[in-house]
Amino acid sequence: MIYYKSIFLYLLLPLSFVLPVNSVCLGQSVKLTELHEDFDKAYGLNTHLYNGKKYYRENRDAIGHPFWIQEEAFSGSLSVSGRVYSDLQIKYELHKQIFILEYKEYSGAQQAIILNNQSIDSVMINERVFIKNPFGEIDNEFIQQVYPGKFSAYISHSKEFLFQNVGVQSGYKYSKEIKKPFIVINDNILAFGSRRSFLQIFPDQKRKEIKQYISSQRIRMKKLQDDQFRELIIVCNNIVE
C-alpha cells in the first residue's frame, strides 16, 4: 500500500508546478499535505502514520522471541508528532528497541512496519505507557512511565540476544525480559533492587512509615509488579510531602 501511495503522490505532485502563477489569487495552491489527505480519504490509510520501513523479523530460529510480554500484537494507541491514533495493533521489540505497527493494507494483505522512533511521542499498550527516554544514563530508547510526580517512577525493559552452548538447546536465544525499575528525584536517577536500597532513597524520618506500608502490602522488590510500584510511589509522594 505504501508503494501505491508513492505512485499516487508522484503522479499528482507535478500538477502543483503546472498551475498558473496567478492561481494563488483564485484559491489555495495545491500542497503535498493536501495530496496525502486526499489519498487517505480515498483509500483509508493515513500516510502520516503508515510510513515506516517494512518489518522483517530476524533470527527466527533462535529460542524465545524479542518482544515485550508476548509475540502477538497488543491493541493500543500511539502519539506521533503530536497526533494521536487509536485502535492500533502494536508490538514492542525489546532487543532492538523499536515499535512495530501491524495493519491490513487496501488489498487486505497483512503488513508490519517499523515506526520511526524520532517521531514517536508515546505509546500505550496493555494499559502501560511508554515514552521516549529523556535520561542519558539509561540505555533504552524508550521507558515505561509508571507515575509522574515529585518522585517519578519508571521501568526500563530490554532483552539480550545470546549464544548458549550448553545442553540439548545449544544455539542462539533471546534472554528473559530484563526489567529495571527506577525513581527520578530532581533529575537524579535512583535505581534499586531491594527493600533496603529503596528505603535509602528517602529521608531518614520517613523511612519507617514507608517500610510499614511495604510490609503491610507484602511487596517484594525483586518481583515488584507495575501496579504495586505505582501505588508505592503514590504513597511515598504523600508521606514525604
Instruction: Provide the pLDDT for residue 45.
Output: 58
> What is the distance between the alpha carbons of residues 239 and 234, in angstroms, rounded to a whole number?
9
The predicted pLDDT at position 170 comes to 77
Query: Does residue 10 fall inside a structural domain?
Result: yes
Count of structural domains within the chain: 1
Range of the domain at 23: 1-47
What confidence score (pLDDT) does residue 166 get?
73
Q: Which residues of 27-52 are buried (b: 16+ CB within 10 A; e: fewer)?
A: eeebeeeebbeebbeeeebebebbbb
Instruction: Kindly state whether residue 113 falls inside one of the protein's structural domains.
Output: no
pLDDT at position 33 is: 53
**Residue 191 lies inside a defined structural domain of this protein:** no
pLDDT at residue 3, rounded to an integer: 44
pLDDT at residue number 105: 78
Contact by Cβ (8 Å): 145, 128: no
Question: Given this model, what pLDDT does residue 110 score?
Answer: 87
Pairing of strands 188-191, 53-54: unpaired
Q: Supply angle C-alpha 81, 179, 181, rounded to 5.
A: 80
Report yes or no on whether pTM surpasses 0.85.
no
| Confidence (pLDDT) at 191 | 93
User: What value does the CA radius of gyration of the chain take, rounded to a whole number of Å?
Assistant: 24
Residue 58 lies in a domain: no
Q: Which of 126, 135, 106, 98 is nearest to 43 (CA)?
A: 106
64 inside domain: no
Query: Residue 208: its pLDDT value, please?
Result: 96
212's CB contacts (< 8 A; 6+ apart) are none
pLDDT in tens, the chain (241 residues): 444 444 344 434 443 444 444 444 444 445 545 544 544 444 445 666 777 789 988 888 889 999 999 999 999 999 988 889 999 999 999 999 999 999 887 778 888 999 989 889 999 999 999 999 999 889 899 999 999 988 999 999 999 999 887 766 678 999 999 999 999 998 899 999 999 999 999 999 999 999 999 999 999 999 999 999 999 999 999 999 7
